[in-house]
Amino acid sequence: MIRLVEQMLASQNQLAAAKAPHDKTVLQAQIDATDRQIDRLVYDLYGLTEEEIRIVEGAAQ
């Protein structure tokens, strides 16, 4: 999980510095994928059921 958080921080920094729209799009896709991976690890860590995950994700929107 630490590696994913470090990857997320690096990607966020790269996104902030990116100039080209294509680069921003690619970096945002990487950030979104990493975010989903972190979420899944946290859900597994806390032993959430699929129903609980839907509730958490619904509340986050």
pLDDT of the chain along its 61 residues, tens only? 899 999 999 999 999 999 999 999 999 999 999 999 999 999 999 999 999 999 999 987 7
pLDDT given at position 38: 97
Length reported for the chain: 61
pLDDT given at position 24: 98
Contacts of 53 (CB under 8 A, 6+ apart): 43
What is the gyration radius of the CA atoms in the chain, in angstroms? 14
